């Protein structure tokens, strides 16, 4: 299931940070568990909001690609692929050719995204199995343009809020972009009035099913844990924790160790931004904003950015 490198990262993260990196849950049958969440979020959650906003503004986002013969839609952390459909529909409407390029850590997620796109469009799909936290992927983005096509990267679904080191992830994306490439990022905003409404979502069974994927694979019995989703006001993020009820043996490949009673592990975080924290983060990493649009209730933002050259 895990590569040697992933095993090492998992063990180091559990022992050093008390955290199971959420990304490993999407491997194997975790991919279908994510699809259940995505389906629910597209009914009335953030995927719906993002979809509507993207549909409404797709024409504006794509103005810069009007003269392009072909566009590579590089879907970073593709999930089931459905979030990019409004962009593909708009390209089709304007008779601009495109190639769908999903990038993900999970081979299963890549296959699901390919199926989603194939069900709607007859286009070329080029999948890349990559962990984008580990470095930039400029060799791929550069190579894609060798036929004269243009690149548009998409980082949707508020995935940015799931990483502890958001600067590193964004830097990797920036370093994978040429001067004419654009990136569209979608993030959820903080709405303090709605925090209490938001929290129950993180205790739903479908979320637990996904987040317990890795814990169960490494021997943590669900019945030997207590789960809690809390709002961390200082860091402006939802955090999903498990507490170990009785000493628990862990086994990862040939390595085994014990988590003691009352130890806790972070299973996931979901940072909520405000317009200031988000635009500051983007500009600190070295992006200039071309277009920023907010949902009517101000709870979701889509931003189209480009790498900028600047001196520190
Ligand atoms: C929260 S889901 C969002 C999926 C989709 N973009 C959406 O909006 O519905 C995160 C996606 O990013 C992928 N992912 C998370 N961390 C990753 C990493 N470090 N490298 C590559 N893919 C990653 C997951 O496998 C999953 O497909």
Torsion over CA: 90, 93, 98, 104 (sign): positive
Here the tokens at position 44 are: 């009335």
pLDDT score for 311: 45
Please say whether the beta carbons of 106 and 31 come within 8 A: yes
pTM: 0.97
The finding on whether 161 has its CB within 6 A of some atom of ligand 1 is no
* Eight-class DSSP state of 31: H
* Among 236, 66, 82, residue whose Cα is nearest residue 154: 82
pLDDT score for 96: 97
Please say whether the beta carbons of 207 and 228 come within 8 A: no
- Lowest-pLDDT choice from 8-12, 93-97, 189-193, 214-218: 189-193
Pocket test for ligand 1, best of 3, 103, 104 (most atoms within 8 A of CB): 104
CATH topology of domain 45-189+273-307: Rossmann fold (3.40.50)
The finding on whether 173 has its CB within 6 A of some atom of ligand 1 is no
pLDDT score for 190: 83
pLDDT score for 44: 79
For residue 6, the CA-to-ligand 1 centroid distance in Å is 16
Here the tokens at position 272 are: 């909520």
Contacts of 75 (CB under 8 A, 6+ apart): 81, 83, 84, 100, 101, 102, 103, 113, 154, 156
DSSP 102-155: EEES-HHHHHHHHHHHHHH---EE--EE--TTS---HHHHHHHGGGS-EEEEEE
pLDDT tens digits along 63-119? 999 989 999 999 999 999 999 999 999 999 999 999 999 999 999 999 999 999 999
Closest ligand 1 atom to residue 82 Cα is: 9
Please say whether the beta carbons of 158 and 165 come within 8 A: no
pLDDT score for 12: 97
The finding on whether 131 has its CB within 6 A of some atom of ligand 1 is yes
Q: How far is CA 261 from CA 23, 250, 251, 264, in A?
A: 26, 13, 17, 9
Give, using CA atoms, the residue closest to atom 13 of ligand 1: 77
Give, using CA atoms, the residue closest to atom 25 of ligand 1: 26
Dist CA 146 CA 154 (whole Å): 20
* Eight-class DSSP state of 28: T
Give, using CA atoms, the residue closest to atom 16 of ligand 1: 23
SS3 label, residue 86: helix
Residue 312 has pLDDT above 60, yes or no: no
Domain boundaries, the chain: 4-22+194-271, 45-189+273-307
pLDDT score for 310: 61
pLDDT tens digits along 235-287? 999 999 999 999 999 999 999 999 999 999 999 999 999 989 999 999 999 99
Pocket test for ligand 1, best of 35, 79, 115 (most atoms within 8 A of CB): 79
Residue 193 has pLDDT above 80, yes or no: no
Residues 15-31: what's their mean pLDDT? 97
**36 phi, psi to nearest 5 deg:** -65, -40
The finding on whether 105 has its CB within 6 A of some atom of ligand 1 is yes
For residue 34, the CA-to-ligand 1 centroid distance in Å is 10
Give, using CA atoms, the residue closest to atom 12 of ligand 1: 77
The finding on whether 77 has its CB within 6 A of some atom of ligand 1 is yes
For residue 312, the CA-to-ligand 1 centroid distance in Å is 31
pLDDT tens digits along 125-178? 999 999 999 999 999 999 999 999 999 999 999 999 999 999 999 999 999 999
């Amino acid at each position: 299931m895990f590569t040697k490198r992933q095993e090492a990262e998992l063990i180091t993260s559990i022992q050093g940070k008390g955290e199971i990196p959420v990304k490993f849950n999407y491997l194997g049958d975790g991919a279908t568990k994510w699809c259940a969440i995505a389906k629910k979020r597209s009914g009335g959650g953030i995927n719906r909001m993002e979809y509507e906003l993207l549909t409404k503004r797709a024409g504006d986002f794509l103005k810069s690609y009007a003269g392009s013969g072909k566009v590579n839609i590089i879907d970073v952390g593709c999930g089931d692929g459905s979030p990019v459909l409004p962009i593909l529909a708009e390209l089709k409407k304007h008779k601009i050719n495109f190639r769908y390029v999903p990038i993900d850590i999970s081979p299963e997620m890549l296959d699901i995204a390919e199926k989603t796109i194939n069900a709607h469009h007859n286009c070329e799909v080029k999948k890349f199995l990559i962990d984008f936290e580990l470095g930039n992927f400029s060799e791929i983005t550069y190579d894609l343009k060798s036929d004269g096509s243009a690149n548009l990267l998409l980082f949707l679904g508020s995935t940015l809020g799931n990483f502890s080191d958001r600067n590193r992830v964004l830097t990797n994306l920036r370093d994978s972009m040429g001067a004419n490439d654009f990136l569209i990022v979608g993030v959820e905003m903080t709405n303090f009035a709605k925090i209490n409404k938001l929290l129950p979502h993180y205790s739903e069974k479908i979320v637990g099913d996904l987040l317990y994927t890795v814990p169960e694979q490494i021997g943590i019995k669900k019945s030997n844990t207590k789960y809690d989703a809390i709002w961390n006001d200082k860091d402006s993020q939802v955090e999903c924790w498990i507490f170990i009820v009785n000493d628990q043996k862990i086994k990862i490949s040939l390595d085994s160790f014990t988590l003691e009673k009352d130890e806790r592990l972070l299973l996931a975080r979901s940072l909520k931004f405000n317009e200031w924290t988000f635009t500051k983060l983007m500009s600190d990493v070295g992006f200039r904003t071309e277009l920023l649009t907010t949902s009517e209730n101000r709870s979701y933002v889509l931003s189209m950015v480009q790498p900028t050259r600047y001196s520190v």
